[in-house]
Chains A and B, each alone.
Chain A
Amino acid sequence: MTRSLDALTRTTGYDDLPGLMSLMTGDEKHSPAATSTLDVLWVLYDRVLRVSPDTVDDPSRDRFYLSKGHGPMAYYATLAAQGFFPVSWLPAWATWDSPLGHHPDRVLVPGVEISSGSLGHGLPLALGSALGLRAQDLDSRVVVLVGDAELDEGSNQEARELAGAWGLDRLTAVVIDNRSSTWNEPGLVARRFETEGWAVTTVDGRDHAQLEATLSRRVPGRPTAVVAQLEPK
């Protein structure tokens, strides 16, 4: 680390995210696993989601639910870079006085929409929230990020089936597919969603243009899934 905290506070670009993550990890370089969500998160917050630090309580904001709450450094770095909370919070993460834990807590961290860590809860919660927004005639989307191994949890299947049956087109699942699942089978992630009627696109999880295009896409009458392929864990 050569740059000062003050310098980082003044910057908000994608190129600063590794430096922000270093404030938490102490490492100059990060493993592919640590940054597997980084590009998806940045593209979502920088280009796709209608939410900002000024609209965190706006009922009509877009929601992002980080279901895969493990390894949240990239998430915290993105939120800090986007101004949801001060960069100065990052170095002390996971300490007693820090609001930033190894799994995010929505009660403690501005901009965090769900508290996660236990796998298989985010997609069901997102389905409920998508229904809630629809019931209130709000034009907001819910984007939920899950890991490919997280899809082992059967609760995801319950949610996938109903989102497809109900054609909840305001719901988007983005799957970080770094072949983490022990019983991984190529193409299985996409097939699981396709079978239930979702509009599925598989993209390079590091390609910002592809991510922006697919994450922005809404398909009338169908929920969308974006399978972001990343370096195998």
Chain B
Amino acid sequence: MTTPREAFARTAGQLVDDDGSMALVYAEISGQYFADVERRHPRRVVNVGIREQLMVSVGAGLALTGLRPIVHTFASFLVERAFEQVKLGFNHQDVGGVLVGSAGSFDIASGGRTHQSPGDVALVDTLAGWAVHVPGTATEVEEATRLAVAGSGRDYIRVVEQQNQVSYPVRPGRFHVVRRGSGPVVVAVGPTLSTVLTATTDLDVTVLYANVVRPFDHRTLRAVAGGTPEVVLIEPYLAGTSARLVAETFVDVPHRLLSLGVGREELRRYGMPEDHIASHGLDVVGVRRAVVAWTGGQGPA
């Protein structure tokens, strides 16, 4: 089975083959996937070595000449290490580009904090105008990559190894209504969906699925929430990253919000991604326990 990261790499290679205005910039990481396409297009596929701040600026510099760059490495080095390059290279220069950050919050569980980036979306979210893709399957990664490259704006794509069982179309600005109920609305972001569906299977909740979380689909959330909105937000990165947007959705009505996601504290534990998911309360048991407690303490008998 193709992993999400492999799906990204294969798609990026195909896009470089098909479109002479595309460029791919990387910094050693993922080089195992790019050797062939780099041989075919040595001027548009650029490995800058272990130079992440340069990588981001090179992407922006390519964009200044009219090319459409994909810039890719682990999210921790792409967004966190080189944040000012993102801010000034893309936003302040007002050029477009596609940043693809892999490894996310805990793909590299045994690697420790240096290779984990639960704050990537929150950081990107300090800048205006970025579409933020949080694809939940390898299929969605491919679709998000194609869609982002076909555009001209600024796109951040978060590629992680956790996957849902079912893929949904990638439609920026639109959340999917996966299940309808009369109780709270649970917004499952990216690869949390399968967990959320299992955790809430016998609860009377509406489940929305967001594989593009910026722009935020206020309209669908508002439409399904009813008169006294109760919202559970479940994000595979820093808890509460999208809370401000839920507050914006319901700025004029009293509402309740529970934000689940990755905690701020460093765990200083290794193990597997599943261990981290469970520790942050993002597994089936944790999500169910949090939702049930928040909705009044008792789940269905």
Binding site for B on A (CB under 8 A): 59, 63, 105-107, 113-115, 118, 121, 124-136, 138, 155, 158-159, 161-162
B93 touches A131 (CB 8 A): no
Contacting B61 at CB < 8 Å: which of A105, A106, A131, A161?
A: A131
| 24 A/B residue pairs, CB under 8 Å, sorted by A | A63-B64, A105-B92, A124-B57, A124-B61, A125-B57, A125-B58, A125-B60, A127-B54, A128-B61, A128-B63, A129-B61, A131-B58, A131-B62, A132-B61, A132-B62, A135-B44, A136-B65, A136-B67, A138-B65, A155-B85, A158-B53, A159-B54, A159-B57, A162-B54
Whole-angstrom distance from the CB of B285 to the nearest CB of chain A?
46
Does A162 lie within 8 Å of B94, measured CB to CB?
A: no
- Give the CA-CA distance A138 to B43 in the complex, in Å: 13
Which of chain B's residues have a CB closer than 8 A to the CB of A134?
Answer: 43
**A121 and B57 within 8 A (CB):** yes
Inter-chain contact A128/B58, CB cutoff 8 Å: yes
Assuming A114-B93, A128-B62, A162-B48, is B57 touching A135 (CB within 8 A)?
no
Interchain CA distance A129-B65 in the complex, whole Å: 6
- Give, as a whole number of angstroms, the nearest-CB distance from B40 to chain A: 13
Nearest chain A residue, comparing its CB with the CB of B61: A128
Binding site for A on B (CB under 8 A): 23, 25, 43-44, 46, 48-49, 51, 53-54, 57-67, 84-85, 88-89, 92-94
Classify the interface of chain A: helix, strand, loop or mixed: helix
Given contact pairs A155-B54, A155-B57, A128 touches B93 in the complex (Cβ within 8 A): no
User: What's the nearest-Cβ distance from chain B to residue A49, in Å?
Assistant: 16
Q: Contacts A118-B84, A125-B60, A135-B44 given; indicate if A59 touches B66 (C-beta within 8 A).
A: yes
Q: Are B43 and A125 in contact (CB under 8 A)?
A: no
Q: Which of A106, A130, A135, A158 contacts B67 (CB 8 A)?
A: A135
Residue in A105, A113, A135 whose beta carbon sits within 8 Å of that of B64 in the complex = A113
The distance in angstroms between the C-alpha atoms of A132 and B22, with both chains bound, is: 10
B63, B64, B94: residue with the most chain A Cβ atoms closer than 10 Å: B64
Q: Which of B25, B51, B66 is within 8 Å of A136, CB to CB?
A: B66
Nearest chain B CB to A24 CB, angstrom units? 22
A117 smallest CB distance to B (angstroms): 8
Among candidates B43, B44, B62, B84, residue contacting A129 with C-beta atoms closer than 8 Å:
B62
Which residues on the B side are within 8 Å of A106 (C-beta)? 93-94
Most central of A114, A115, A124 by chain B CB within 10 Å? A124
B64 and A162 contacting across the interface, CB-CB below 8 Å? no
Which residues of A are found within 8 Å of B59, using beta-carbon distances? 128
Contact of B49 among A124, A125, A135, A162 (CB under 8 A): A162
Most A C-beta atoms less than 10 A away, residue of B25, B46, B65:
B65
Given the contacts A106-B94, A118-B88, A135-B23, A124 and B64 also touching, CB distance less than 8 Å: no
In the complex, are the beta carbons of B54 and A158 less than 8 A apart? yes
Minimal beta-carbon separation of A57 from chain B (angstroms): 10
Give which listed residue, B44, B46, B54, contacts A124 with CB less than 8 A.
Answer: B54
Bound Cα distance from A135 to B63, whole angstroms = 12
> Which residue of B44, B51, B84, B89 contacts A125 across the interface (Cβ within 8 Å)?
B89
Query: A residues within 8 A CB of B94?
Result: 106-107, 115
How long is the Cα–Cα vector from A121 to B86 in the complex, in angstroms?
11
Question: Could you tell me if A128 and B53 are in contact, using CB atoms closer than 8 angstroms?
Answer: no
Please name the residue on chain B nearest to A155 by beta carbon.
Answer: B53
